[in-house]
């Protein structure tokens, strides 16, 4: 889902700042810097293949790709198919703290495009691509201290380049209307495989020209 013009400006502003800032995300649609928390100097933008740690949570991005089909095979006799334009992220998340990482403090993932518009995951399909697996922390459950989990995040978005935005909540607040606001450190992550996929497709298309 796209942000409005003022939020696009904020996204570009955050991208250009050298100092660390907190990010507030309300239902994945808005974010703003908390200047009182700015200035500890942590890097906020990382290249593909870099392991990142924020607030004792370590991230290893293992896959970023486009897809046009998601299959729900939970009902073997009649699997459901969901067609569209999707981006799938696959991330290994490790809790390096000495206490469980409860759901309300688990990382929040968003995509941001070249114009600064922010996109949130498709909630239902994200649950679908995280089926129960032996030895894995179930979706929506706390991550034990010292443990890792594999998480896939699915976005229903136009096929274009993106960067990931990851927020590690330090606090959450739920309004009366059900909107959840997250506040905590964040970082941008370059999704180089998406760009490479688009470049390869363009090259193939050019090769078929007259």
Q: Measuring CA to CA, how many Å separate 14 from each of 44, 73, 120, 188?
A: 9, 41, 18, 10
Distance of CA 78 to the CA centre of its chain: 31
Q: Model-level pTM?
A: 0.76
The predicted pLDDT at position 205 comes to 57
The predicted pLDDT at position 193 comes to 95
List the domain boundaries for the chain. 5-207
The predicted pLDDT at position 27 comes to 38
Q: Which residues of the chain have pLDDT under 70?
A: 1-42, 75-76, 201-210
Give, in words, the CATH class of 5-207: mainly beta
């Amino acid at each position: 889902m796209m942000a409005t013009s003022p939020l696009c400006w904020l996204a570009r502003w955050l991208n250009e700042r050298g100092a660390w800032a907190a990010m507030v995300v309300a239902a994945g649609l808005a974010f703003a810097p908390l200047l009182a928390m700015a200035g500890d100097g942590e890097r906020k933008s990382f290249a593909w293949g870099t392991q990142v740690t924020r607030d004792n949570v370590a991230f290893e991005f293992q896959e970023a790709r486009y897809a046009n089909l998601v299959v729900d095979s939970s009902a073997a006799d009649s699997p459901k198919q969901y067609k569209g334009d999707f981006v799938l992220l696959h991330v290994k998340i490790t809790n390096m703290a000495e206490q469980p990482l409860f759901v309300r403090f688990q990382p929040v993932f968003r995509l941001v495009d070249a114009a600064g518009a922010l996109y949130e995951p498709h909630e239902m399909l994200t649950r679908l691509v995280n089926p129960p697996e032996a030895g894995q922390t179930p979706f929506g459950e706390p991550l034990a201290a010292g443990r890792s989990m594999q998480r896939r995040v699915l976005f229903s978005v136009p096929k274009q380049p993106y960067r990931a935005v990851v927020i590690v909540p330090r606090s959450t607040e739920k309004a009366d209307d059900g909107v959840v606001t997250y506040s905590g450190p964040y970082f941008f992550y370059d999704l180089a495989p998406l760009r490479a996929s688009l470049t390869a497709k363009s090259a193939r298309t050019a090769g078929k020209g007259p």
